[in-house]
Amino acid sequence: MTTAGAKKIFISDIHLGDARSFGGAHPYGWCRSNIPHLADFLSEQVSAPEAPEVVILGDLFDEWVIPTDLDPLDSFQAICDDSDNLPVINALRLLAAGGRLTYVPGNHDMTLSIADPAGTHQFMKTAFPGIHNGSDPGLADGVYRSGKLAAEHGNRYTLFNASDTWTNPPSLLPIGYFISRLVAYKVSRTGTAEDFHDILRKFIMKLKGNLNFVKDLFDAVAQDAGLNDASPIDMKGIAGFPGTVGGIGSLYEQLIEEWKKHRPDIDWEMAVIGDVGDLHPAAIHVYFSIFGSGQNIVIFGHTHKADLKKSYILEMAPAVENIHLDLPCRSIYVNSGTWVDSAPYCTYVETQEDATAQRHNVRLLSYYPSKTLLQEGFVKL
């Protein structure tokens, strides 16, 4: 593990798929054309003179974006072995071998750990010798901590994508897994790229006032994909789930009521805001409120929307932003964005403590098509 003052690089939401996601008449994988850019980026970190630690904040692998008529994945091995992914896999192995790769789980790489969350960690240790677990290996949702910095995937604050331990135990799969498969089915049939987050956002905004909100939304996404209640969902290798669209929709019908019982830590309406792409309110609630955890830098992924939000020690944020004063922030929330093919992506977060200046710098950058500083800020050490 790198020392406290060393540079840290945070990336997330890569979404590598297996060979099926690259082939066929209509490839449905989210990350194909950006793989060479990510491989170049990781290779630069391998050879960087300052030897940064690279922290993956979830969704390195994608076991969710599988059309409903295909067998689901229950292992990461097929993704690691696919020749299209090898440039990225090999660069990650070099970082791991040098003790400079840390992994925190996300939701799209959750399937392997349905009954055994530690299974994901064990696989990563075997596939990438030298890798560090960024969180408790017994947990499906993990938090990476370094001093007053905390980083996690962020899905556990979203209604549709947080680990669901109550609907169908011992499974952890939330309804978002099945929505992802519905959308992947549509893409595999039409060849038209679809952003899962955009589709979810569209139907949430349209149906959020409905009495039977969750099932109505699931049915609407299914209909948009050309499926109905009787349409099958292939669940081979994943036991305990209905095999039809209608069965799955009914299974999660009481999601909001169950959330209220099992997740008193975050309001379900705030969790819906996380699903439409804004996790900043959750970060404030969990980490920056007066009841928070003492962190002053929080990094999430999940939303695919790179962003950096600063709260200043002096409550004069609008004026500070306008005149660009070099003042320390009280807290910084930053989202690492994603490396999937839709633009403008290929973003990452860079942090580094500067003992001389007594500041902890945070930068949000893009890598492709050019390396560009998007936003930055700092907190006091």
Q: Please compute the mean of the pLDDT values over residues 360-381 and round it to a whole number.
A: 96
Q: Check if the beta carbon of residue 335 is closer than 8 Å to that of residue 301.
A: yes
The torsion angles phi and psi of 9, rounded to 5 degrees, stand at -115, 130
Segment (H or E) for 149: strand 149-151
Q: Which of 159, 160, 142 is nearest to 151 (CA)?
A: 142
- Give the Cα separation of 254 and 211 in Å (integer): 11
* In the chain, where the domains are located: 8-162+266-380, 175-257
Q: Please compute the mean of the pLDDT values over residues 254-259 and round it to a whole number.
A: 96
- Give the Cα separation of 352 and 359 in Å (integer): 9
Q: Which of 38, 50, 47 is nearest to 13 (CA)?
A: 38
Q: Check if the beta carbon of residue 308 is closer than 8 Å to that of residue 334.
A: yes
Count of H helices and E strands in the chain?
12, 12
Q: Please compute the mean of the pLDDT values over residues 11-29 and round it to a whole number.
A: 94
DSSP 240: T
Tokens describing residue 199: 């589709």
- Give the Cα separation of 365 and 373 in Å (integer): 5
pLDDT digits (tens, 9 = 90+) for 297-333: 999 999 999 999 999 876 555 555 555 567 899 999 9
Q: Check if the beta carbon of residue 240 is closer than 8 Å to that of residue 171.
A: yes
From the candidate CATH numbers 3.40.630.10, 3.20.20.80, 3.40.640.10, 3.60.21.10, the one assigned to the domain spanning 8-162+266-380: 3.60.21.10
Answer yes or no: is pLDDT of 138 > 70: no
DSSP 20: G
**Model pLDDT, residue 320:** 53
For residue 311, the SS3 value is: strand
pTM metric for this prediction = 0.93
Residue 1 — very low, low, confident or very high, per pLDDT cuts 50/70/90?
very low
Residue 293 — very low, low, confident or very high, per pLDDT cuts 50/70/90?
confident
- Give the Cα separation of 327 and 378 in Å (integer): 8
- Alpha carbon distance, N-terminus to C-terminus of the chain: 20
pLDDT digits (tens, 9 = 90+) for 273-290: 999 999 999 999 999 987
- Give the Cα separation of 205 and 209 in Å (integer): 9
